[in-house]
Amino acid sequence: MTNPPDREVAIFSVARRLPAAERAAYLDRTCGGDAALRQRAEELLQASEKAGAFLRESAPGAQRPVEAASEADSAPTVPSTLPAEQIGERIGRYKLLQLIGEGGCGVVYMAEQEEPVHRRVALKVIKLGMDTKSVIARFEAERQALALMDHPNIAKVFDAGATNTGRPFFVMELVRGIKITDYCDQNNLPTRQRLDLFVQVCQAIQHAHQKGVIHRDIKPSNILVTLRDSVPVPKVIDFGIAKATNDQRLTDKTLFTAFEQFIGTPAYMSPEQAEMSELGIDTRSDIYSLGVLLYELLTGQTPFDAKELLQAGLDAMRRIIREQEPARPSTRLSTLLQVERNRVANHRQTDPLKLVHLLRGDLDWIVIKSLEKDRVRRYETANGLARDIQRHLNDEPVEACPPGAGYRLGKFLRRHKGPALAGSMVVLALAGGIVGTTWGLVRAERARQAEATERAAAGASETKAIAQKRVAEAVGTFLQQDLLRQAIGTEQADTVRRLGGEFEAKDNPTIKELLNRASTELTPEKIEAKFPRQREVQSAILRTVGDAFQGIGEYAKAVELLTRASNLYREDLGPNDPDTLATMDNLAQAYQSLGKLPEAIALLERVRVARVATLGAEHQDSVNSLARLGWAYQAVGKLDQAIEMFEQVRDSNLKKLGAERPDALSMLNNLGLAYQDAGRLAEATKLFEQVREASVQKLGADHPDTLVSIGNLALAYKAGGRLPEAIQLFEQVRDGQVKKLGADHPFTLITMNNLASAYDEAGRVTEAISLFEHVLDARIKKLGPDHPDILYTLNNLASAYQAAGRLPQAIELLEQVRQARIKKLGPDHPSTLLTLNNLGWAYQEDGKLELALPLLREAAEGMQKREFRHDYAAMIVPNLSGCLERLEQYAEAETWARSWLAAVKEQNGPESQLYARALAGLGLNLLKQQRWTEAEVVLQECLTAREKTQPDLFATFSTKSLLGASLLGQKRYAQAEPLLLAGYAGMEQREDRMPCGGDVRLLQTIERLVQLYQATDRPQQAAEWKKKLP
């Protein structure tokens, strides 16, 4: 039998790995119109099937001696009439106990050696039907390769020989373990521990390279993790297709890999292996495969999906491996569906956002350098790769990305000066797409357990893997068939017909429209009919689509579907199952977005308690639950509790991760925002400044994460009245994000929105309006007209119109936002109440107090129902009081002011900036009622608080003027004068940081000084001050 042509062998080698149902389509694509090629490939597949049946049946027969084969003959020999080895049979001094695996050309048994030592070993013998010249050469090469090496992370070779029928075998160390990816996921190893294992693998491969051996088939199933004294140890196995890299001969027989014949796993194959040219394979091919392994350890995915590679056809597969650039790990992770992102993150004891941050930077660079198409650009050695991982773990500069001087200096300072507090950045993530998952089964028994227990555990793991794969495939099919196919005109027409015209066909439907149509198939009756008694599939689909609705801002629909999903998970898996708790967590976020904060907090409390009980308080999932609970408490105005929670999370992350790891930095940002909301602006600003410094040193000044951290600092400066500094930083961030991310990226649009708001406050109204209008147009194009962010932008634009005196336009926009928010969020949602407040304020500015008052009162009463536990209350209640005062309804205004003051004192404490602001509001009300003595008491308390916490703010000097006014009303001129003079001087010096309405405060102070000097018979001074009035 002659050797088949190279191309048909290559096609056969790919097709035989595909499921039988997919082979015909693959052959159609690959063979095209070449009928002869198609026929030869099918004959090879048929022969392979027969050989497989023969091996299973162990039919008797005579095996031709290996040496009798022709040197050119690579086809299988005549099948043996002797049976395959049976359990209990002996090969030399080894008794076969159990079949534990099959390699490319060999069968591996667990065997018992009885002398000269008693131990269990792995015995590998060539497969029946595989005794070709090239296979025997590869088999013997593996034995010789292993014999050359002595390394703790490479399986040792003890013995070699031949069976009674002449088939070679060798005996090696029995590795009791499971493949490295399964071990990491089953034990939920954090990224750092995964990297520690990977470094040991690199060191093993380096040892092989130093012995002149390339592995050429590095993949998870060839790296088993075993336990030694309870410490995980990776072991590299299966050098079955190893190749010599120097002049030594691994075997006396020919070691030859046929041209265009794939040996190895395509997903792990280097571009030069896929090239199949005369270009020699060297050690850098293993570096590429190590890069793929690292990619999978970090993200749970390979750079190119193995199944998709096989289905693409030979030529397309080779082209993908040779030419297509893989996504960076952080990018790949951020594009997964939320359910998959959550699964990957949970296996690494973190949440998706933090995992993306962790991968972004050093680890992205290291992986991409390992996966370079041009092998000259890869790491030269496996040790070089391992050293770069160690540099990353030690917070040293990595080789993978040429760092600038600032980057190196930052690394050096952190190593030698110790940890410093740092903040993080607010990151938005959009879920998209679904990826197939390749599920591996346990390959060998778990260490130190009885064999029966090991087999049971392996079976359970296999069952779980199969079930999870089935669920993932069902979800993927639903998304493709029921969701995405709705974009096709014929599918839309069919849906319209079935639903009786509930939807109309569109040429280019939005994601919201597609989700709405798909969700019609998710009623309890329909989903049960589609997936009968497959509750795990139903819950996964409901959860996935619910998360998608939340992502586009359809919170009510998200709550509906996530509630059903969490109920199914709880009934089937129990209340403390990770999927149950993760779905409840997502449901709580939907409730919070919908403004149903009590429901959100109740769910988050339950999730937190369950995770602490099952995982422990220090588990990352438990820590993350505490953080989310902190955000909810912050939203309802329980700032003291929120800060306490954020500080606990900060301490936990610092303890486990260090001061400047991205996971630890992220919580510092949240803590800073809580400080700011609680009026602890100085602490917030200091924290954000540390965030900026740490981000610049670690990532560089123009890194996207650094730019976001600078944006957070700009927000703090803006809140503190430092508008020129805030605007400068916002403009810096905007320019950097446009360059790095693009002008329409969500982060860029957020920065532009914040910059426009700062322009508005600084009186640069024309620039503010222009920028708000740009952001509005960009967001509508990017997100669609119904997205919640559009309403926020419309609200901001209306504010700018109002500041520019374009009140009719402002009112028109606010009425539009009001109706949309009532429809989407309900009348009691905090955002709806804020819109009522803004619309009332606009009517008030337009002189239509009769229209303004009911709107402002409705907004304030909505906050009162919430016990003022929302940060919007700080705007809404004072605005109502101001409107009532303009209508001279001082008593009602005072009632609201005192109620607000009591709520703030209870919730935020008497030391907070918000409490000082509430005191100022009540004091101003009492001044207007000419209740001078009562006003003095209130304003003195306010000034004392502000001088203690914010001595340099404009508001502090405004309070001095108000206190002077209370003394002026009591005719205590000598005490009033220094307060009024100091108040005026301080406000005038801070004119560049003057808040909205500050000019009125300045003019009122001048008027009080004129009044004082006239009352004390000092006309010249009164005249001088009168000149300052407009």
DSSP for 929-963, written as a single string = TT-HHHHHHHHHHHHHHHHHH-TTSHHHHHHHHHH
Count of structural domains within the chain: 3
Check: CB of residue 923 under 8 Å from CB of residue 897.
no
Q: What pLDDT is stored for residue 83 in this prediction?
A: 43
Residue entry with tokens 């099937």: 49
Q: For residue 819, what are the contacts with CB-CB under 8 A and spacing of at least 6?
A: none
Burial group, residue 497, by CB count within 10 angstroms (0-12, 13-18, 19+): exposed
Per the model's pLDDT, the better-predicted residue between 488 and 197 turns out to be 197
- Residue 112, Ramachandran bin (φ over 0: left; ψ between -120 and 50: alpha; else beta): beta
**Nearest alpha carbon to residue 110 among 368, 470, 454, 408:** 454
Q: Looking at 82-91, 812-821, 947-956, which range is the least confident one?
A: 82-91
Q: Assign 331 a pLDDT band (cuts: 50, 70, 90).
A: confident
Per the model's pLDDT, the better-predicted residue between 81 and 966 turns out to be 966
Q: For residue 944, what are the contacts with CB-CB under 8 A and spacing of at least 6?
A: none
In a domain, 597, yes or no: yes
Check: CB of residue 973 under 8 Å from CB of residue 1016.
yes
Residue entry with tokens 């919007």: 872
**pLDDT reading at 273 higher than 60:** yes
Q: Assign 959 a pLDDT band (cuts: 50, 70, 90).
A: very high
**pLDDT reading at 105 higher than 70:** no
Vertex 625: Cα angle to 621 and 629 (nearest 5): 170
Q: What pLDDT is stored for residue 241 in this prediction?
A: 45
Q: Find the mean pLDDT for residues 45-58.
A: 40
Tell how far CA 762 is from the center of its chain.
36
Tell how far CA 755 is from the center of its chain.
27
Cα–Cα distance, 868 to 854 (Å, whole number): 18
In a domain, 580, yes or no: yes
Where does 187-243 have alpha helices with state H?
A: 191-210
DSSP state of 448: T
**pLDDT reading at 716 higher than 50:** yes
Check: CB of residue 614 under 8 Å from CB of residue 576.
yes
- Any idea of the CA torsion for 306, 307, 311, 313, to the nearest 10 degrees? 10
Most confident listed range (641-655, 786-800, 919-933): 919-933
In a domain, 986, yes or no: yes
**pLDDT reading at 76 higher than 60:** no
User: Which H or E run contains 886?
Assistant: helix 873-886
In a domain, 974, yes or no: yes
| DSSP code per residue over 248-307 | --S-SS-----TT---S-GGG--HHHHH-SSSPP-HHHHHHHHHHHHHHHHHSS-SS-HH
Q: What pLDDT is stored for residue 31 in this prediction?
A: 76
Q: Assign 422 a pLDDT band (cuts: 50, 70, 90).
A: very low
Cα–Cα distance, 160 to 56 (Å, whole number): 26
Q: What pLDDT is stored for residue 695 in this prediction?
A: 78
Per the model's pLDDT, the better-predicted residue between 1012 and 251 turns out to be 1012
Q: Assign 826 a pLDDT band (cuts: 50, 70, 90).
A: confident
Cα–Cα distance, 262 to 269 (Å, whole number): 9
Q: Assign 53 a pLDDT band (cuts: 50, 70, 90).
A: very low
In a domain, 1026, yes or no: yes
Q: Find the mean pLDDT for residues 900-912.
A: 87
Q: Domain boundary at 17, 40, 57, which?
A: 57
- CB 655: neighbour CB atoms within 10 A? 10
**Nearest alpha carbon to residue 352 among 621, 140, 619, 635:** 621
| DSSP code per residue over 315-381 | HHHHHHHHHPPPPPHHHHHHTS-HHHHHHHHHTTTS-HHHHHHHHTTHHHHHHHHHT-SSGGGS-SS
Tokens coding 331? 């990018």
How far apart, in Å, are the Cα atoms of 372 and each of 201, 262, 276, 330? 20, 20, 17, 17
Q: Which domain holds residue 53?
A: 6-57
Q: Could you tell me what percentage of the chain is helix, strand and coil, using 3-state DSSP and rounding each to the nearest 5?
A: 65, 5, 30
| β pairing state of 243-244 and 231-236 | unpaired
**pLDDT reading at 414 higher than 50:** no
- CB 248: neighbour CB atoms within 10 A? 11
In a domain, 371, yes or no: no
Long-range CB contacts (within 8 A, 24+) of 248-253: 248/212, 250/140, 250/141, 250/144, 250/145, 250/213, 251/137, 251/140, 251/141, 251/144, 253/133, 253/136, 253/137, 253/140
Q: Find the mean pLDDT for residues 250-254.
A: 37
Residue entry with tokens 């009112």: 811
Check: CB of residue 857 under 8 Å from CB of residue 847.
no
Residue entry with tokens 């839309």: 492
In a domain, 625, yes or no: yes
Cα–Cα distance, 881 to 860 (Å, whole number): 10
Per the model's pLDDT, the better-predicted residue between 941 and 274 turns out to be 941
Catalytic sites, residue numbers: 217
Instruction: State pTM to two decimals.
Output: 0.45
Cα–Cα distance, 46 to 43 (Å, whole number): 5
For residue 603, the domain's CATH number is 1.25.40.10
Cα–Cα distance, 269 to 217 (Å, whole number): 8
Q: For residue 396, what are the contacts with CB-CB under 8 A and spacing of at least 6?
A: 411, 415
Tokens coding 968? 């002026």
Cα–Cα distance, 108 to 541 (Å, whole number): 41
User: Which H or E run contains 832?
Assistant: helix 830-845
**pLDDT reading at 257 higher than 90:** no
What are the pLDDT digits (tens) for 641-668? 888 998 888 888 777 655 555 556 667 7
What are the pLDDT digits (tens) for 573-594? 889 888 899 899 989 988 887 7
Percent of the chain at pLDDT > 70 equals 75
Q: Domain boundary at 653, 679, 705, which?
A: 653
Q: Which amino acid is at 229?
A: D
Q: Assign 703 a pLDDT band (cuts: 50, 70, 90).
A: confident
**Nearest alpha carbon to residue 537 among 469, 483, 436, 440:** 469
| Sign of the four-CA dihedral 163, 165, 168, 174 | negative
Q: Assign 752 a pLDDT band (cuts: 50, 70, 90).
A: very high
Q: Looking at 164-173, 307-316, 843-852, which range is the least confident one?
A: 307-316
Q: What pLDDT is stored for residue 5 in this prediction?
A: 43
DSSP state of 18: S
Three-state helix/strand/coil letters over 781-800: HHHCCCCHHHHHHHHHHHHH
Residue entry with tokens 């990826």: 435
Tokens coding 541? 């689909």
Q: What pLDDT is stored for residue 261 in this prediction?
A: 34
Q: Find the mean pLDDT for residues 880-894.
A: 94
**pLDDT reading at 81 higher than 60:** no
DSSP state of 154: B
Count CA atoms closer than 13 A to 123's CA, side-chain side.
Answer: 29
Check: CB of residue 733 under 8 Å from CB of residue 721.
no
Per the model's pLDDT, the better-predicted residue between 127 and 978 turns out to be 978
Q: Is the peptide bond before 266 cis (omega within 30 degrees of 0)?
A: no
Q: What pLDDT is stored for residue 498 in this prediction?
A: 52
How far apart, in Å, are the Cα atoms of 209 and each of 48, 222, 608? 34, 17, 49
Q: Domain boundary at 590, 624, 653, which?
A: 653
Check: CB of residue 181 under 8 Å from CB of residue 440.
yes
Per the model's pLDDT, the better-predicted residue between 832 and 72 turns out to be 832
Q: What is the mean pLDDT of the chain?
A: 77
Q: Assign 125 a pLDDT band (cuts: 50, 70, 90).
A: confident
In a domain, 599, yes or no: yes
**pLDDT reading at 77 higher than 50:** no
